Structure 1
Amino acid sequence: MPRNVSVEKAVEMIIERLDVIIAGGALGAPASTQIQGIYNEQMEKNGGSVRLASIFFAAYSLIESNWDYRKVPVGIRGKHGDKRLAGALTDRYVSLHKNITAFGENLGWKGSVGSVILSDDPRFSSYLADLVDLTAQQREVLLNHAIWKMAQSRVVPQALPPLPSSYLSYSRCLDLCERIIAVPSEGHIQQFLVAAFLEVHRKRYGHTVSTHHPHASDTYDGTVGDIEEFREGGLVAAYEVTVRNDWKNRLADFGKKARKGGLSKYVIIAANVRQDAHLHPATSLMNFIGSLEFDLAVVDIHDFFCVFCAELRREELAEAFNRAYEHLVDNKLCGRHDLQEAYKKITDNWLEAPATY
């Protein structure tokens, strides 16, 4: 039997909209008290499997306009359906579904689901009756409200607890940066810390910053740098973060990325720039880049953190350190327990040091 593509589309719709909210975006008009009442009535009295199935049904009704609300959609179970959705939420630290792994299986929808009559199931009958009475626009609002509630339920692992201001002085934060970037990590920790600092800083101006897996090919995932910065959806800057010296053999590659992204300047944030006679002082850098057809900025990673530890406010610094840790525990970006443990060990030791200005 062919897969039910509408199930896959409904799952992807939920995940994509959740990612929009997590990234700081919005999904449209807020829910009316009527819509909120329908959501609250269904969610407050039920467990994770019923909750997730109910949200899925709202999405499915938007994808499949001819769906019979009394019946469980064929193909709802498995790696393209309930398991895919539950896993994606868990990966994003959502807790609303209480970390269940397969709502269809948990609800007893095994084998052929054609015999299951949802209108006879007291866990769904009232909710689905409400869903039937809503217009498509109202169901859209209900779904967006549910996804917003998902985002609200996220419990993201953090490396730092709330701290008194004395712990977040310039010198202490720079010391923490220096400890963190000294960890051998094949560039993972260094890239994520730079990305986190840029993300927190650029939020002031309405910009968004994204990063990807350090071993992912830029060509494969369509990016033009380890870190990309956007304004109103348009790319405005790209950054390469490296702790290796072989980047100097890739100038043509950086030029291609700059052209692909429509950028006049490309930024390299690298280790040991000030110790490299080809790159420092500036006259050496001028000779090194020669007659490139784009502007290449080369920044020592230590200098980067000297500037940003001075620029960010104390609450922003704490946010940046925690955001970097979040990248490390994100299985899509890293997920390496050895690097998570190394990062946490450094922050724990740093917290034990006396806090002075």
Structure 2
Amino acid sequence: MNAVGGCERFTPDTGRRFRHHRVGNVIGRLSAASSKRSWRLDGIFAGSCDEQGGLFRRIGKFLADHRLEPTPANYALAHVVVTDGNATVLRAVAEATFGDVRLTQAQADRIGGLAQPVAPVAVPVADTQAAAAAMADLMRSIDDARERFERFAGIVDTSRRDAQDYGDALVSGAATLTPVASAAAAQAETLAALLALTQSMIGKTRSAEEQLRAASVEMDDLRASLAAARQDAGTDPLTGLPNRRAFETRFADLMNRPIPCTVSLAMCDIDMFKGINDRHGHDVGDRVIRLVGKQLADGCDDAVVARYGGEEFVMLFDGCDAVEAAQALDATRAAISARSFKVAGSGETLERLSFSGGVVTVAPGEAVRDAVRRADTALYRAKQDGRNRIELGI
């Protein structure tokens, strides 16, 4: 046994069915034949019907099965489900209805929010605060750098003006030096003035050198501070892994290389994570997230592993196609699911901690959001087909 954090006893289910009910008059009058048909998450509807009528009846069937009112928000959710419009929504519906249970209105409202085209990734408040603090530190370092650069530039400008004034004085003084003997007194006075000017310039130059030397030390310290702040801004505070921003930057770097190379992307999600949080609390859930993140990073040491948000991770495999990346990821999955863990403190045992994943080969020039969407669709299939598995995307 390894006392690393909490987890819930569970086994992967091997399929998912949804109850079939006869449909009453929910949205218009449905025919007796259509009332025997059922909605499915893969969008397939038994029987033949015209496209619009079939979609209308499938949406009505979904609402009737879950006893949801035909409001615009519920209709929109049903439309996404029966048309396979959003893999995240489909996965959330499958999780909520597992065990042939109906969606509650509260669940429908929550899942419906996931269907928004720019829905934010749910991030724990502590993570958000830490990320904001890291960004604030970076902005302070940038402001500090700007102030020191301005001071440095001021020293340089002052030294340049002093040198220019010294040069002008030398030219002016030299013009008064003549070979005429009667001007000896004037020449001596001019030479004395030039000597005093030279000594003053030497003093100013030494002072400028000292200031520049001190500024150079400050600049070295500032470079180190900026590097540390930049690192913090790109690091997930819970796991220490790169965060979503850093991942997207790395993805762009790989896509913009002069010589293209095969790159694969994987999306991973901890199975039944909500049950872990509900049963053991968020502290144990955080430990589970750290554990899985570390195992992914250690098991796939040639990959970039980042925390994408919540219990999701994203990975980049440079130089590997999807098949090779899936093999490496599956070995880590098998290693984690073969172990058992105890909840520190309570001694409760988790028989199996697992994750599911979807892997795709990134197309040349493909946008990060498109590659992530394809991998997320494959991840949804892995969840739908029983969890604790890796699926290849198309």
| TM > 0.5 fold call | no
TM-score class normalised by the smaller sequence? under 0.3
Q: TM-score, normalised to structure 2's length?
A: 0.19
| Structure showing greater relative contact order (alpha-carbon pairs closer than 8 Å, 6 or more residues apart) | 2
The structure with the larger Rg is: 2
Q: TM-score, normalised to structure 1's length?
A: 0.20
